[in-house]
């Protein structure tokens, strides 16, 4: 990749500037521990994360079928900047260049997702698309050749549109058989080199945004929650969630029965994990914070790990909460090998059962009667960012990891996403935007908080920055940038930001402190 000479000089300047911050800041983990040792385990995975729809592009290329996001983004008004993922960052054609960027950044793992519709354009109702299989084999081989561990998500929001049209996808138990079939194919063709599998990325977000607020496909909701043509926000999210939970367990069953012993891999699920801080020290607000976790994250993890829904959900929803059959419950035995944690931000929580509450996110029965907000009574949980939902609260990383450790008996964890988004409109020039000090400060503080949780006993085995590149950020399109590398969306040229150099230095420092070199990982 060739850079203009002036831009190259600027990047070198950014490197020296960021390195000076790295050496001078007392908030970095390595300095906090006097550079004598690293709190990160010996074989810790330092990586970056991506997803197929946000990165690949190659819309309907080489036999790929339509997926739900292809259809959704082509409807007027669904994406803030009117764009779609037809091209995205063209990772499909530029994967080798991107793998080279990963190698230069020093990561030893890459989390990416497979496009279900690229492998099975019509689900189990059609043939396997060999071109899709060949593409992922090339990508996986390129990673392995560079010593980068593939960390593969089976589906990251996108599903074949065929399944939506045939039986309304996650609202039908039929999809459990489709997902089992799809997962089996993934294990068969890629499992000899893939040792880490994630069944679903953020099923809690997919269900809430798809079936409660209608902001994601299939855009189903009730009038009080969003503006949709059809749906039932108080009923359908729980139907979709139960089918996702059972689909996850079906994939785990296939993997353990047919592949895990010979392939030697691990399988888990990645949840969006928000830290919920009680707004006050009152017992009511503390219970509300716990209740919010149950209605958001534990909603999925409790059945998979503990075999039942959280007690708070049973108490409030009663018969409205779908129950699992006796046959289903037989599958609830050690339903995963690790928990993926996608953590970005924290919120305050205020009780709405014993206290008067204004209408707002979380205050309804279906959400657990607990109002959530990053700002309450002029009190902010952290510094705001370019995204309305995103506030900087580093303590939340330690808190959420510790919470999951304690609730689920310290099952191994990976931070499968953590990163900082900026608005393109807030920077006068690309050169100015490359000097992303705010992103460096965010990553540094959250990694420091993570290291504290590890020091206190949390079994965390990896950390993935979102993301290696700017990309298509769902409803925000290309207006929000999370990349360690800037992407010019007109030319698709990739340029490293200061954060890419900082992350490279951070990884190198901690690998050396752990007594091993990057090549040995």
| Domain segments of the chain as ranges | 38-274+333-344+387-515
Q: Where are the alpha helices (DSSP H) in 75-214?
A: 91-105, 116-119, 130-145, 161-167, 174-190, 203-211
Decide if 433 is catalytic. Answer: no
State how far the Cα of 484 lies from the Cα of 468, in Å rounded to an integer: 5
Q: Where are the alpha helices (DSSP H) in 1-151?
A: 5-24, 29-32, 52-55, 68-73, 91-105, 116-119, 130-145
What's the DSSP call for residue 366?
A: G
pLDDT at 322: 86
Give tens-digit pLDDT for 49-105: 999 999 999 999 999 999 999 999 999 999 999 999 999 999 999 999 999 999 999
Predicted TM-score (pTM) of this structure: 0.93
Give tens-digit pLDDT for 323-360: 888 888 777 878 999 999 999 999 999 999 998 898 88
Partners of residue 113 on adjacent β-strands:
153
What topology does CATH give the domain 38-274+333-344+387-515?
Answer: TIM Barrel (3.20.20)
Give tens-digit pLDDT for 109-136: 999 999 999 999 999 999 999 999 999 9
Report residue 155 as tokens: 């589906």
pLDDT at 174: 98
Annotated active-site residue in 234, 417, 433, 441: 417
């Amino acid at each position: 990749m060739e850079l203009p000479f002036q831009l190259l000089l600027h990047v070198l300047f950014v490197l020296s500037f960021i390195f000076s911050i790295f050496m001078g800041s007392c908030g970095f983990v390595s300095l906090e521990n006097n550079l004598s040792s690293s709190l990160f385990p010996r074989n810790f995975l330092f990586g970056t994360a991506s997803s197929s729809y946000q990165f690949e592009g190659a819309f309907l290329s080489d036999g790929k079928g339509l997926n739900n996001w292809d259809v959704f983004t082509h409807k007027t008004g669904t994406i803030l900047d009117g764009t779609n993922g037809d091209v995205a960052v063209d990772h499909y054609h530029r994967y080798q260049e991107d793998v080279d960027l990963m190698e230069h950044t020093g990561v030893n793992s890459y989390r990416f997702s497979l496009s279900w519709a690229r492998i099975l354009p019509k689900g189990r109702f059609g043939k396997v698309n060999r071109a899709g299989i060949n593409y992922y084999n090339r990508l996986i081989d390129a990673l392995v050749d560079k010593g980068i561990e593939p960390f593969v998500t089976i589906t990251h929001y996108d599903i074949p549109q065929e399944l939506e049209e045939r039986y309304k996808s996650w609202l039908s138990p039929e999809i459990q058989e489709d997902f089992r079939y799809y997962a089996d194919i993934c294990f068969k063709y890629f499992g000899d080199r893939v040792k880490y599998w994630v069944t679903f990325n953020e099923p809690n977000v997919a269900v809430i945004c798809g079936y409660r607020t209608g902001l994601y496909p299939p855009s189903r909701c009730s009038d009080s929650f969003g503006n949709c043509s059809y749906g039932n926000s108080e009923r359908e999210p729980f139907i979709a969630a139960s089918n996702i939970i059972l689909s996850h367990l079906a994939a785990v069953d296939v993997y353990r029965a047919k592949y895990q012993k010979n392939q030697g891999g691990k399988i888990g699920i990645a949840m969006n994990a928000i830290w919920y801080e009680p707004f006050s020290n009152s017992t009511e607000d503390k219970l509300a914070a716990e209740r919010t976790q149950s209605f958001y994250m534990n909603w999925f993890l409790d059945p998979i790990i503990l075999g039942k829904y959280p007690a708070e959900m049973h108490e409030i929803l009663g018969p409205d909460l779908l129950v699992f059959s006796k046959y289903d419950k037989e599958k609830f035995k050690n339903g995963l090998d690790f928990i993926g944690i996608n953590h970005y931000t924290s919120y305050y929580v205020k009780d709405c059962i014993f206290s008067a509450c204004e209408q707002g996110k979380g205050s309804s029965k279906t959400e657990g009667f607990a109002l959530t907000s990053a700002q309450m009574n002029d009190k902010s949980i952290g510094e705001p960012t370019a995204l309305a939902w995103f506030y900087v609260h580093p303590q939340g990383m330690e808190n959420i990891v510790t919470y999951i450790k304690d609730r689920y008996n310290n099952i191994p964890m990976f931070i499968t996403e953590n990163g900082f988004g900026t608005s393109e409109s807030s920077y006068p020039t690309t050169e100015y935007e490359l000097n992303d000090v705010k992103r460096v400060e965010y990553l540094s503080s959250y990694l420091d908080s993570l290291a504290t949780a590890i020091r206190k006993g949390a079994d965390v085995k990896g950390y993935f920055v979102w993301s290696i590149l700017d990309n298509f950020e769902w409803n925000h399109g290309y207006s929000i940038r999370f990349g360690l590398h800037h992407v010019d969306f007109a030319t698709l040229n990739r340029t490293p930001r200061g954060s890419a150099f900082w992350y490279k230095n951070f990884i190198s420092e901690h690998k050396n402190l752990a007594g091993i070199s990057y090549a040995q990982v």
